[in-house]
Amino acid sequence: MPHLPRIALAGVPNCGKSALFNGLTGSRQKVANYAGATVERRWGSVTLDDGTRFHIVDLPGTYSLDAASRDQEITRDVLLGRRADEAPPNALICVIDATNLRLHLRLVLDVQRLGIPFVVALNMVDLAERNGTRIDIERLSQELGAPVIPTVAVRRGGLEELRRRLPGVLDKMARRSASSDDYRPLDAAGLRALQRRAREIANKVVIAEGTASRITRHLDAVLLNPVVGPLFLMALVFVVFQAVFAWAEAPMGWVDDGVSWLAETVRTHLPAGRLSSLIADGAIAGVGSVIVFLPQILILFFFILVLEQTGYMARAAFIMDRLMGSVGLNGRAFLPLLSSFACAIPGIMATRVIDNPRDRLTTILIAPLMTCSARLPIYTLIIAAVIPNDPIGWGIGLQGMVLFGLYLAGIVNALAMAAVLRLTLTRGRAQPFLMELPKYQLPALRDLVLGLLSRAKAFLVRAGTTILAASVVLWALASFPAPPEGATQPAIYYSFAASIGHALSYVFAPIGFNWEICIALVPGMAAREVAVGALGTVYALSGSDTMVAEGLVSTLRNAWSMPTSLAFLAWYIYAPMCFSTLAVSRRETNSRGWTAFQFGYLLVLAYVAAGATYWIARALT
């Protein structure tokens, strides 16, 4: 095997490289792992029509020779001849995607610096032509100084021409001029110059482009502008949170009226007693106080799904790359953090796309600081109770502005914590960010509806299981034991729940939390929105009939001071994640120590922030 010429296949992930490898080798291929790594090693033999034989190896996909992961390191080291278990290739087949020349040409230009003879397989030309894109093959060959063969690897198109041109490439084997000692990684300026050259070549060789590509290019010229892009993104996010309040007001009222009617119906048709209280004050008050926020959650997910389907979400990652870079991360961390707006669990799991282990760990540790949808019921409840719904401009309400500020606070705190971690516990060099941008397209109505239905189902299942169970348990704790004879206070004041709340209040009284809040914090660890259900149960059992009839918002407006309300909001900006998120974090980090650190630092930040907010607000009011 060592005495035969060796050709390596190199390319960006998902460029069709492996399909080309399969087409060239057929059944004459073997699969194993590189020594000391779990990265797959695929190689085989090829015999040409003239009897020439050579070995071919399918290298792991990479965006750059500036390796950011273990598999990309292997690709770089094989090309440079640094691996003892793999002889360096004598020639290369660089596979590039004809539908995304700018990104793929960058790798070709990077590899070209090694001085290894190569041929370019311009793959997926059928998709490019279907989109209306036509490429000047001869001009591309001149610009790169290498043969360019159009291919459709999945249908074996162009493989015969590629096989015919390989002997000429093999004849140049002796011209390899670079070695591992000569190679120097490019700095930031060099990377930008390489990308600029790739863009110039792409502009020269693309002689026609489809309507979708042209629209995408014109939109990106505006939306990815260093000045306009961030401003547009900020304005878009601002509009989303205004809509969460403005659009949801009517449907929330309908849900609230339905919950009140259901509770009143139970009280009317069941005799007064434990069963009636369990159903009306425990189950309905607890679950109903949470599901009333379903319209707001669906509105938030509607915007997220639209942005994903139109292709803008990937652009948001690029826009955020510069900001992420200032705290030691890159734009790839933005997507998991953005997913954490829905729930920290998929956000933490999405960190698997981050190649660098330190970047990934940092992103996992800060993901719970992003404002997940479970916080939305808490935020909107307190905002509705203490913030007047006054307009502060055309189409802009004060409540929407405060909600926007809370989400912005989560982002700022996550970035600040990332900066601290990257300077201390997870310090290391930030990795460059490369990612393929999809074309802009109109969202599919069917996909939108199905996406919203799945989110609504997940929320209602959680309300009907976790929140219902927590509400029933809390009702039991708040109803037993029975009050003593001659008791003048509501029964809950003599219950187990009150005893737990008063015990915890010694710890939380300095930050303005009363015993009712302390009760809600404990089941809130199961799921953050359970805190709202817990408050609904507690005040349904302790408030007067008038307060209960007016709803939880009016109850809190009368029961809590402004400093306490603001401190409660500050607590949930940092509040430690729910137990499910804690379990996922433990699994993804594979470390009890990092999971304990994550829980601990969030708990400390929540306590300090709530205390500072309470005492400052108290001094001002």
pLDDT digits (tens, 9 = 90+) for 61-85: 888 887 666 777 888 888 888 877 7
- Reported as type and span, the H/E element at residue 44 is strand 40-47
- DSSP assignment string, 152-211: BGGGTBTHHHHHHHHHHHHTTGGG----TTT-----HHHHHHHHHHHHHHHHHHEEE--H
Q: Report if residue 375 sits inside a domain.
A: no
Q: Report if residue 588 sits inside a domain.
A: yes
Show Cβ contacts of residue 545 under 8 Å, excluding neighbours closer than 6 positions.
none
The encoded tokens of residue 323 equal 């900001």
**Residue-level pLDDT at 478:** 73
User: Is residue 37's pLDDT more than 60?
Assistant: no
- The dihedral formed by the CA atoms of 60, 107, 80 and 178, expressed in degrees to the nearest 10: 160
- Paired strand residues for 157: 152
Q: Report if residue 250 sits inside a domain.
A: no
Q: Report if residue 497 sits inside a domain.
A: yes
Q: Report if residue 427 sits inside a domain.
A: no
Mean of pLDDT over the chain: 82
- The structure tokens 């965006």 sit at 63
21-30 mean pLDDT = 74
Helical H runs in 50-187?
70-80, 101-112, 125-130, 137-144, 159-170
From 209, 241, 273, the end of a domain falls on: 209
From 182, 209, 236, the end of a domain falls on: 209
From 193, 209, 225, the end of a domain falls on: 209
Cβ(474)–Cβ(497) below 8 Å: yes
User: Is residue 510's pLDDT more than 90?
Assistant: yes
- The structure tokens 């598999």 sit at 71
pLDDT digit string, tens, across residues 104-116:
898 899 888 888 8
Q: What are the angstrom distances between the C-alpha of 427 and each of 22, 320, 600?
A: 41, 20, 20
Q: Could you tell me the CATH number of the domain that includes residue 100?
A: 3.40.50.300
- The structure tokens 């790839």 sit at 332
- One-letter identity of residue 390: D
Q: Is 114 helix (H, G, I), strand (E, B) or coil?
A: coil
pLDDT digit string, tens, across residues 552-605:
788 888 888 999 999 999 999 998 777 778 888 888 888 999 999 999 999 999
Domain count, the chain: 2
**Which range is least confidently modeled, 51-55, 434-438, 551-555, 616-620?**
434-438
CA dist., res. 464 & res. 472, Å (int): 11
Q: Considering only CA atoms, give the Rg of the chain.
A: 30
Q: Report if residue 311 sits inside a domain.
A: no
Q: Report if residue 457 sits inside a domain.
A: no
pLDDT digit string, tens, across residues 417-474:
999 999 998 887 666 666 667 788 888 888 889 888 888 887 788 777 777 787 778 7
In this structure, the number of other CB atoms found within 10 A of the CB of residue 138 comes to 10
User: Is residue 370's pLDDT more than 80?
Assistant: yes
H, E, C per residue of 544-600:
CHHHHHHCHHHHHHHHCCHHHHHHHHHHHHHCCCCHHHHHHHHHHHCCHHHHHHHHH
**Residue-level pLDDT at 590:** 87
Cβ(98)–Cβ(133) below 8 Å: yes
pTM over 0.95: no
Q: Report if residue 349 sits inside a domain.
A: no
- Domain of residue 526: give its range: 466-620
**Residue-level pLDDT at 413:** 92
Cβ(414)–Cβ(585) below 8 Å: no
